[in-house]
Chain A
Amino acid sequence: MTTDVINDQSEHDSHGGEHHDHKMTGLKRWLYTTNHKDIGSMYLWFSFIMFLTGGVMALVIRAELFQPGLQIVEPDFFNQMTTVHGLIMVFGAIMPAFTGLANWMLPMMVGAPDMALPRLNNWSFWILPFAFAILLSSFFMESGAPNFGWTFYAPLSTTYSNGSTAFFVFAVHIMGISSIMGAINIVVTIMNMRAPGMTYMKMPLFVWTFFITAYLLIAVMPVLAGTVTMVLTDTYFGTSFFDAAGGGDPVMFQHIFWFFGHPEVYIMILPAFGIVSTTIPAFSRKKLFGYSSMVYATASIAFLSFIVWAHHMFTTGMPLFGELFFMYCTMLIAVPTGVKVFNWAATMWRGSISFETPMLFSIAFVILFTIGGFSGLMLAMTPVDFQYHDTYFVVAHFHYVLVTGALFSIFAGAYYWLPKWTGYMYNDTLSKWHFWCSLISVNLLFFPMHFLGLAGMPRRIPDYALQFADFNKWVSIGGFAFGISQLIFLVLVIKCIKGGEKAPAKPWDGAEGLEWTVPSPAPYHTFETPPKID
C-alpha cells in the first residue's frame, strides 16, 4: 500500500467553528473532550488502574492459597475476591484497553479526523468509572461484594444472593451500555470515515479485527443485559425465569449466559490478533502473510463463536447429540485459529527479524496463546471435560488465553505505539526488564495450574488438600512476581510521557500504515483532510 498523504495542519482554520482547536485546560479538558486521542488515553489509563485493582484481588487470592488451610481471609470474602477479580479484569481491564487502542489508532489508520460520533465517545467512556464505582462500593456495604462468581449462575445470584445482586446488575448494565456505544462508534467510523481509496480489503488487519469484534459486541452485550435483568427481577420482583419452583429453569440461565459468554471470549482475543498482525510484520520487515485468509479466519471465528456456547455446560446433563454437536463445532474453531498462527509463523519465516520489546511480546503471545489454545482443545473434548470441568485446568486455560494472550498483545501494542502517543522513545532497558520478568513469572504463575487441575484441585476454593501444597506455593510466588513486574511498566510509561529520546514520525523502519505518516507525538488533530490511498 503506498500512501500519499496530503495533511496540512495549517488547514484547521478553514473549518471555522466546527472543531475545538483550543484544548481546554485542567479537568474540563478531560471531562468535555470529544477528541479520540484524549478519550483513547483515558480508556488506557482507566484500564490500567482497573488492571492493578483486579491484580490486587488476585494477589489476595494467591496469598490465601499460598498454604493449605485458612490464613488470611474468610471463605466468603475469598469468593468475593474471585468474583470481582474476574469482573474487573474482563470488563474493566481487557475490554477498555482494547477500546482505548481502537480510539487512538482506528481514526488514524483509516485516515479519518476523529471517530464518527465524538460526543457519544465521550459518554461511553465517562459512564464506565461510575459502573465500577457501583460495583466496588458493594465492598463497603453490609452484604459485601458479589460472591457468586463472575458467571453469576442462578440460583447463586438469585435465591442465594448475599444482597449484592442489585449492585452487580446495575454495574453490568452500565458497562454493557458503554461497550455497545463504543462498538457502534467503531463500526460507524470504519464504515463511513475511511479515506478515499481505502477499500475494505485494503484496511489494516487491526481495523478488520476491531470491526468484527464491534459486531460481536453489538450482538451479544444486549443478551447479557437481558440476562442480568432476568436475574434482577428473579431476585427482587418475584419472577421465576430461573427458579424451578415457579416453573423456570436454572439450566436455562447457563444457556442464555453462555450465548453471551462465548462470543465474549472472542471479543477479548480478536483485537489481540489484530495487534500482533500489525507488530509481527513490522519487526519481520515483511508483509503480513495471507492477509485475506486472516480476514476470513477472523470472520469465521466470530461466526463459530455463536454456535459453541454449550461446551461450557457439558456436565449439566446434555443429550449425547448435543454434546457431540458442541464438541465438533468447538474443535472446528481450531481450524481458523490455526490458519492465523501459521500465518504469523510464515510472516516471520525468513524475515529480517529484530527483537524490540513489541516484537518480544508478540512472539510470546503467539507461543503462549497457542498453549492456551491447545488446553482449550483438550477442554473441548466432552469425555475428558468431565474430568477437567471446574478445576484449575480451566483456570490455567483461560489465563493463558487472556493474560499471555490478550494482555501480552496489549503490551505489544502499547510499546509499539508509545512513541507515537508521547513523542518520546520508551526506556529500552526497563522495557526488557518488564518483558523478561513478566514472561518468567507468568509461566511460573499459570503453568503449574495445569497440573493442579489434572490432579483434581477445584477452582474457586479458599482451601485445598495437602497434596496440592507445593504447586500452589510456586503459583503464588509467580503471582506476586508477575504483579510486581507490572509496576515496571507503570514507571516506564510515566517516564516516557515525561521525556526521553525524541521519537521520529516512524521509529520502526518496518512499520506500515497511515499512523506513521503523521509526526510523533501525533498532533491533536490529524487527517482533517483525508489522505489519498492508491
Chain B
Amino acid sequence: MTNGESQNKLSKQAQAKANDASVNKTVKKLMLIVFGMFGFGFAMVPLYDVFCDITGLNGKTSNVAASYNAASIDTDRTITVQFLTRTAKGIPWQFEPMINEVKVHPGERKVVKFYAKNESVNAIVGQAVPSVSPGRAAVYFQKIECFCFNNQPLKASEDVEMGLQFYVDLDLPEDVSTITLSYTLYDITSAVDS
C-alpha cells in the first residue's frame, strides 16, 4: 500500500465518521418531528374544544352554569327556542320536552321542564348532551341551571321531571330568530359503575 493510498483511505474513514455524525444529527431531528406530531395529534383534542368554545362552532354549549347577568330585557326582539330530544341507541327511556317551543326576549329568564322515564326493569344512569343549532348561536345560549350538568340515575320504572333554566344573550346576532336546542340521552351506567 503506497503512502498516497493509505492517506486516501484515512481521509475516507474520516469522511465516513463525519458522515455518521451528520446522519445521526438528521435522524435525531426527524425523530423530534415524529414525536412532536404524535403529540400534536393528541393536542388537537383540547385545541378543538378551545376553538369550539371561543367560536361557538359545532353547537357545543358550555358545561358550567352561567350566572344571570343580563342588564336589561330586549322586548323588541322575540326569539323562538325549540326543544328536541332523542335517545341514543340502547337506552330504554322515554325522554321528551314538556313544551316543544317557547318564545323569549333576549335577556329574559325562562324555565322549562323535560320528562324522563326509565321503561326498563334495571336501574340506569342517563346523561343528556346538549347541542344548539344554528351552531353560532351556541355561545349566546346561557344555561343557568340544567339537568345536563349532572347525570341522571333512574330506578326501574321511575320517572322524573327535569328542569332547565336559561336566557338568551342580548348580543345574539340580528339574523338569528330561532334557536333549536337538542338533547341526546346516553346510557352511561357502565361508565358510572366502574
Residues on B with beta carbons closer than 8 Å to the beta carbon of A116: 23
Cα(A318)–Cα(B48), bound, Å: 14
Alpha-carbon distance between A14 and B188 when the two chains are bound, in angstroms: 71
Interface centre among B36, B37, B40 (most CB of A within 10 A): B37
A255-B44 Cα distance, complex, nearest whole Å: 9
**A218 partner residues in chain B, CB cutoff 8 A:** 30, 33-34, 37
Interface check A5, CB cutoff 8 A? no
Chain B residues near A246 (CB-CB < 8 A): 188, 191
Q: Is there contact, CB below 8 Å, between B34 and A251?
A: no
* Complex-state Cα separation, A256 to B36, whole angstroms: 15
Q: Does A384 contact B (CB under 8 A)?
A: no
Q: Is the CB of B129 within 8 A of A244?
A: yes
Q: Report the Cα distance A218→B26, complex, angstroms.
A: 13
Within 8 A of A (CB), among B171-194: 184, 186-188, 191, 194
A227 to B40, CA, bound (A): 11
B interface: dominant SS? helix
Q: Is A26 an interface residue (CB 8 A)?
A: no
Cβ distance A151 to chain B, nearest Cβ, rounded Å = 16
Report the bound CA distance from A301 to B162 in whole Å: 53
Please tell me if the beta carbons of A188 and B194 are within 8 angstroms of each other in the complex.
Answer: no
> In the assembled complex, which residues on chain B have CB atoms less than 8 Å from the CB atom of A319?
55, 57, 135-136
Among A187, A188, A249, A256, the residue within 8 A (CB) of B41 is A256
Residue of A nearest to B38 (CB): A222
In the assembled complex, the Cα of A184 lies from the Cα of B31 at a distance in Å of 8
Interface residues of B in 37-53 (CB under 8 A from A): 37-38, 40-42, 44-45, 48, 52
CB-CB under 8 A for A188 and B30, given A223-B40, A252-B48: yes
B184 to A219, Cβ gap below 8 A?
no
Task: Please determine whether A245 and B48 come into contact, CB atoms closer than 8 angstroms.
Answer: no
A180 sits at the interface (CB 8 A): yes
How many residues on the B side are at the interface (Cβ–Cβ under 8 A)?
38
**Chain A interface size range:** 35 or more
B123 in contact (CB, < 8 A):
no
Complex partner residue of B23 from A117, A223, A244, A318, CB under 8 angstroms: A117
Of A187, A223, A251, the residue contacting B26 (CB under 8 A) is A187
CB neighbours (8 Å) of B34 from chain A are 180, 184, 218, 221-222
In the bound complex, CA of A91 to CA of B3 (Å): 53
B38/A226 in contact, CB under 8 A: yes
Question: Which of B44, B58, B88 is in CB contact (< 8 Å) with A251?
Answer: B58
Closest to A14 in B: B9
B27 within 8 A of A: yes
Question: B157: which A residues are within 8 A, CB to CB?
Answer: none
Q: Are B129 and A222 in contact (CB under 8 A)?
A: no
* Distance to closest chain A CB from B166 (angstroms): 20
- Which residues of A446-463 are within 8 A (CB) of B? none
B67 contacts the other chain (Cβ, under 8 Å)?
no
Total contacts A-B at CB 8 Å: 93
B11 at the interface (CB under 8 A from A): no
Instruction: Give every chain A residue within 8 A of B60 (Cβ-Cβ).
Output: 249
> Are B22 and A192 in contact (CB-based, < 8 A)?
yes
CB of A244 within 8 A of CB of B41, answer no
Q: Complex formed: what's the CA distance from A244 to B58 in Å?
A: 12
Q: How far is the CA of A68 from the CA of B170 in the complex (A)?
A: 56
A197 at the interface (CB under 8 A from B): no
Please state if A255 and B30 are interface contacts (CB–CB under 8 Å): no
- B38 to chain A: which residues have CB within 8 Å? 222-223, 225-226
Contact call A244/B30, Cβ cutoff below 8 A: no
B26, A192: Cβ atoms closer than 8 Å = yes
Q: B37–A223 contact, CB under 8 A?
A: yes
| Contact A219/B37 with A116-B23, A251-B58 known, Cβ cut-off 8 Å | yes
Is A393's CB within 8 Å of the partner chain B? no
Is B19 positioned at the interface, with any CB of A under 8 Å from its CB?
yes
> Is the beta-carbon distance between A223 and B41 smaller than 8 angstroms?
yes
A307 to chain B, nearest CB (A): 14
Contact assessment for B42 and A226 in the assembled complex, using a CB-CB cutoff below 8 Å? yes
Q: Which residues on the B side are within 8 Å of A249 (C-beta)?
A: 48, 52, 58, 60
How far apart sit A225 and B163, CA to CA, in the bound complex (Å)?
43
Q: Cβ of A380 < 8 Å from any Cβ of B?
A: no
The reply to whether the CB of A247 lies closer than 8 angstroms to some CB of chain B is yes
CA distance A319 to B137 in the complex (A): 12
**CA A193 to CA B16, docked complex, whole Å:** 10
Q: A191 and B26 in contact (CB under 8 A), knowing A227-B41, A319-B135?
A: yes
Q: Tell me whether B44 and A259 are in contact (CB under 8 A).
A: yes
Most buried by B among A191, A226, A241: A226
Interface assignment of B63: CB less than 8 Å from any CB of chain A: yes
Q: Do B41 and A222 touch across chains, with their CB atoms under 8 A apart? A: yes
A67 to chain B, nearest CB (A): 33
A456 CA to B55 CA, complexed, in Å: 35
Interface residue from A222, A227, A245, A255 paired with B127 (Cβ < 8 Å)? A245
Cross-chain pairs A/B with CB under 8 angstroms, 8 sampled: A117-B27, A244-B129, A245-B187, A247-B129, A249-B60, A252-B45, A317-B58, A322-B57
Q: Measuring CB to CB, which residues of chain B are less than 8 angstroms from any residue of chain A?
A: 5, 9, 19, 22-23, 26-27, 30-31, 33-38, 40-42, 44-45, 48, 52, 55, 57-58, 60, 63, 88, 127, 129, 135-136, 184, 186-188, 191, 194
